[in-house]
């Protein structure tokens, strides 16, 4: 466990302890809700983790580097942006996947674009969004979000 993870866990446990001291009933109720929610989403997370594990197991690092590395250029950024826009992966799973991409040779720009499109664009949820917001607004929001996600990825690549 690295120092950042240790700090976050100690901070979270400290906040839980303070909340428990302040109001035992509310804190206990919140922990019960959190455990129930975790149990409900656990099967989905496990399936996604297994699928990602298989993907990373069968896709060699040099292939990831080829499509997401320095030599991939704008095609790598756009391809990963489309990939991120189509997938429906919880953020809690997406970040370890992104770390694996980085470890296997992907650039920070491509990974930042992937994470940003994954969280900002919802191709899977687009029909619901069209129903609720209307076709024009839903498509406009997703289109602008796609362009902004690429811009954010490029800016993060420049900064880092």
DSSP class per residue in 85-146: HH----HHHHHHHHHHHHHTT--HHHHHHHHHHHHH--STTHHHHHHHH-HHHHHHHHHHHH
Number of other CB atoms surrounding residue 123 within 10 Å: 16
**DSSP state for residue 13 in the 8-state scheme:** H
Residue 1 has pLDDT above 70, yes or no: no
pLDDT average, residue stretch 144-148: 94
Residue 99 has pLDDT above 70, yes or no: yes
Of residues 73 and 150, more confidence is placed in 150
Give me the count of residues in the chain: 160
C-alpha 52/C-alpha 97 separation (Å) is 7
pLDDT tens-digit readout, 31-78: 999 999 999 988 877 887 787 778 778 877 787 878 888 888 889 899
> pLDDT > 70: what percent of the chain?
99
């Amino acid at each position: 466990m690295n120092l950042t993870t240790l700090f976050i866990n100690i901070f979270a446990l400290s906040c839980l302890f303070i909340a428990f001291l302040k109001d035992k009933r509310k804190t206990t109720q919140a922990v019960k809700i959190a455990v129930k929610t975790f149990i409900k989403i656990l099967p989905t997370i496990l399936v996604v983790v297994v699928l990602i594990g298989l993907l990373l197991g069968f896709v060699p690092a040099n292939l990831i580097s080829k499509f997401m590395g320095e030599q991939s250029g704008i095609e790598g950024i756009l391809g990963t942006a489309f990939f991120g826009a189509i997938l429906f992966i919880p953020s809690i799973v997406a970040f370890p996947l992104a770390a694996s991409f980085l470890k296997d040779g992907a650039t920070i720009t491509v990974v930042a674009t992937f994470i940003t499109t994954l969280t900002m664009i919802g191709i899977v949820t687009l029909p619901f969004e069209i129903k609720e917001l209307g076709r024009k607004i839903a498509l406009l929001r997703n289109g602008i979000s796609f362009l902004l996600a690429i811009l954010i990825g490029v800016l993060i690549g420049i900064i880092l």
